[in-house]
Amino acid sequence: MADYLFGPVMSSRLGRSLGIDLLGDRICSFDCLYCESGPTTQKTIVRREYADSGIILAELEKWLNDNQGDKPDHITLGGEGEPCLNLQLGKIIRDIKKIEPDIPLAVLTNSSLLGDPQVRKELRNADVVLPSLDTLVQEEFIRLNRPCAGLDIQEIARGLEAFCKEFSGRVLLEILLVPGINDSRENMEKITVFLKNLDHERVDLSVMSRPGAHMQLKTPDHETLHRWQKALHTPLTGAETGTGPGTRGRAASVSTIMDSIRRRPQTLEQLCSALGTAPEETSAMLDELVQEQKVRALGHRKEKFYTLKEF
């Protein structure tokens, strides 16, 4: 099994995305109620070399070598925590662009470190940055994102603004709505004003579409979603449907499946579509892994998700 490379996974925002985990564990400055990686085990705002950049690059080179002619839509830095916490972020981005200049490099971030000019500088060579900002109301921020002590959402928003001014690539902002927590009128009005001055390409409004750290979370009602969509002039980002399973006909392997669902719960269709494996073979392997209790199968909104997590 690879330590840091996983997927590709299907992403509604990035297409078929080859994931690179820059932490190697659930290390994050937040502990969001909806986190699909499960509860954060190390909550920190301290930057360190959490994952070895040499191993990361070697894994990527091997994958590209083994999968020539099978280019994902993006290479994405993300994984089980906040990638900007890795002190080697800038070097890793530069080196990936040297190894594979043609595949757009994306970075997922919760925005918490964008107030640091050094982090903003390190992100400069990425092609796409996908920051999240769920709320501008401090009480909602604490309840939903459960950040490290002392983090202030207004300061984070200022960091995001500064980043957007300096960055020349694409910025796709994400807001995830959880009913009764951050779908308030106060938040909607604050975010609407904030977006007017934010230099960004697009805002994606999303709702929980797969099992998260807290299964009891629900999606906002139709009326609330409509109100937000109208205020933000944005459609709802769809869940990854995983259409076209197995079209590339690659052989499924236990390690590739395990690496992928370790970071993100997925349905059979999503796995096959992203990995390019045949449904029958992948399904048989998943059944076996479930029987051996190496993988869990969870029902969520009439779909069956496979995961390694104890949600």
Residues that bind ligand SF4 (CB under 6 A): 28, 30-32, 35, 37, 40, 81-82, 110
Amino acid identity at 279: P
Rg (CA), the chain: 19
CB of 176 to ligand SF4, least distance (A): 8
Nearer to ligand SF4, 28 or 137 (CB): 28
Q: What is the 8-class DSSP label of residue 47?
A: -
Nearer to ligand SF4, 84 or 286 (CB): 84
Instruction: In whole angstroms, give the CA distance from residue 188 to residue 194.
Output: 10
CB of 27 to ligand SF4, least distance (A): 9
Nearer to ligand SF4, 178 or 272 (CB): 178
Q: What is the 8-class DSSP label of residue 102?
A: T
132, 84 in Cβ contact below 8 A?
A: no
Q: What is the 8-class DSSP label of residue 251?
A: P
Nearer to ligand SF4, 16 or 26 (CB): 26
Nearer to ligand SF4, 40 or 260 (CB): 40
CB of 207 to ligand SF4, least distance (A): 14
293: which 2 tokens? Answer: 């209790």
CB of 246 to ligand SF4, least distance (A): 29
DSSP H or E segment with residue 306: strand 303-307
31: which 2 tokens? Answer: 């502990």
CB of 26 to ligand SF4, least distance (A): 7
**How many Cβ atoms are within 10 Å of 216's Cβ, its own excluded?**
6
